[in-house]
């Protein structure tokens, strides 16, 4: 989905600003280059048409594989199998964010019907925790169904639940702590006190405002978004701490812990939010400013093999590939290039290298490999591990890469060799 003319005009100034910052040798950012952690991918993406065709082929293959594996989750570790199988949980919600984006890209009416049927089978209900951001994530799909079909019943339960939140807005601290009860991670999660939540919840609130014409929903979502961003974003590194427990935490190698997927959640959500914002929304410039700051930092820490390390400031902590973080980041950067927000060659190269790495992680059947399992920090990854949110990230990236043939024209980049 491309931005409106009004938004494109607005972002040109940010593009110029970012390009100038990248070329400035007097940078004060604490971000440094990451070493290689695995061998360079065997696929080299140079020709724009080849990239587009690869994205169409691999996106279709990955979507088909995952859709055909929604009735048996034996490939998911047992500890997460039950939640993964629940279509209202965030794992499936993240997959459907990618799938709906893919469906829009390829204009597949059959997929629209299939997604609408699945949403209806869930009675359009959110998760079981009324205020928890993860349990708001599936609302993005319900509201997308409304956009496609005009069926207002698709968002009625979400509106009812959000009305209750507006009537009793949480005011707790964003400081993260773990309680005594197993699985309880503190009352801070009544608000969006962890980075992942910025992918899960705010866009649902935005889409509800767009659907109903009632600005109160996104006024709340916008306010809560920036409360979290101001709290967790590191100005020194241009990256997000996963939550307050990581402010001072260091890796075994003495580096700050900035989780690839945690930052990928935030970074991928920014284009989705920006594209859904009404023209002239007063927060647009602020979201774009955050986007360009993150893009600048993320380009610098990509491994030479095309993947982003699971621990962004410590590539030696997890040396294997990791595709969920790489998928989200590749999507975010590709959106910036395709829409003229990022007009510099390093950003374009990072996108092509990221996509080349992702392309090697999808096997002949369509299974995406090297996906870190459910967690909250950089953890070891095995080649045969996959998860629905990883496929969602991949589909977001594939969707954007189908537009890559026009990127050099849009962003003013040199044509591919």
Q: Which residues are identified as catalytic?
A: 196
**Torsions phi, psi of 233, nearest 5?**
-80, 135
How many angstroms separate the CA atoms of 204 and 319, rounded? 35
Q: Which two tokens stand for residue 236?
A: 């020194």
Radius of gyration of the chain (CA): 20
Residue 250 backbone class (left: φ over 0; alpha: ψ -120 to 50; beta: rest): beta
Hunting for tokens 């360009």 — which residue is that?
292
What's the farthest any 2 CA atoms get from each other in the chain? 59
> How far is 257 from 314, CA to CA, in rounded Å?
8
CA dist 364 to 62, 361, 392, Å?
A: 10, 10, 18
Q: Is the Cβ–Cβ distance between 175 and 244 less than 8 Å?
A: yes
For the record, the structure tokens of 77 come out as 């570790």
Tokens 């374009």, residue located = 348
Task: Find, among 330, 306, 323, the residue nearest to 370 by Cα.
Answer: 323
The full DSSP string for 121-169 is HTTT---SSTT-GGGGTTHHHHHHHHHHH--GGGTHHHHHHHHHHHHT-
Are 147 and 103 in contact by the 8 Å Cβ rule? The answer is no
Burial 241-251 (b: 16+ CB within 10 A, else e): bbbbbbeeeeb
Tokens of 385: 């591990």
CA distance 97 to 143: 11
Per-residue tokens: 59: 């996106």
**Strand ranges (E), 174-250:** 233-234, 239-240
Q: How far apart are CA 299 and CA 346, in angstroms?
A: 7
Q: At residue 268, what are phi and psi to the nearest 5 degrees? A: -70, -35
First to last CA, the chain: 26
């Amino acid at each position: 989905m491309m931005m409106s003319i009004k938004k494109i005009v607005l972002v040109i100034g940010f593009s110029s600003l970012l390009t100038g910052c990248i070329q400035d040798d007097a940078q004060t950012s604490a971000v440094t280059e990451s070493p290689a952690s695995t061998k360079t991918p065997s696929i080299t993406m140079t020709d724009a048409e080849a990239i587009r065709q690869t994205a169409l082929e691999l996106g279709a293959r990955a979507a088909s594989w995952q859709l055909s594996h929604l009735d048996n989750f034996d490939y998911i570790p047992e500890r997460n199998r039950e939640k993964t199988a629940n279509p209202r949980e965030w794992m499936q919600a993240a997959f459907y964010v990618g799938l709906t984006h893919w469906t829009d890209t390829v204009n597949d009416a059959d997929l629209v019907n299939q997604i609408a049927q699945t949403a209806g089978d869930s009675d359009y209900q959110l998760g079981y925790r009324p205020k928890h951001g993860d349990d708001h994530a599936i609302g993005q799909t319900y509201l997308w169904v409304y956009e496609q079909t005009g069926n207002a019943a698709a968002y009625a339960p979400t509106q009812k639940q959000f009305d209750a939140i507006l009537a009793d807005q949480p005011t707790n601290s964003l400081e993260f702590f773990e309680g005594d009860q197993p699985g309880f991670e503190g009352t801070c999660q009544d608000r969006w006190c962890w980075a992942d939540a910025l992918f899960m919840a705010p866009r649902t609130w935005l889409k509800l405002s767009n659907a109903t014409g009632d600005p109160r929903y996104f006024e709340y979502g916008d306010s809560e978004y920036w409360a979290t961003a101001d709290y967790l974003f590191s100005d020194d590194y241009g990256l997000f701490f996963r939550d307050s427990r990581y402010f001072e935490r260091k890796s075994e190698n003495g580096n700050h812990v900035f989780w690839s997927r945690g930052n990928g959640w935030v970074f991928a959500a920014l284009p989705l939010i920006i594209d859904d914002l009404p023209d002239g929304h007063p927060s647009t410039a602020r979201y774009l400013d955050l986007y360009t700051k993150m893009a600048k930092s993320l380009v610098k820490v990509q491994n030479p093999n095309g993947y982003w390390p699971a621990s962004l400031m410590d590539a030696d902590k997890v040396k294997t590939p990791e595709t969920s973080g790489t998928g989200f980041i590749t999507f975010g950067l590709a959106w910036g290039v395709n829409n003229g927000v990022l007009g510099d060659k390093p950003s374009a190269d990072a996108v092509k290298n990221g996509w080349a790495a992702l392309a090697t992680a999808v096997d002949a059947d369509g299974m995406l490999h090297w996906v870190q399992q459910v967690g909250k920090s950089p953890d070891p990854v095995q080649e045969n591990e996959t998860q629905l949110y990883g496929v969602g990230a991949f589909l977001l990236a594939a969707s954007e890469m189908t537009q890559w043939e026009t990127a050099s024209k849009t962003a003013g980049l040199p044509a591919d060799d």
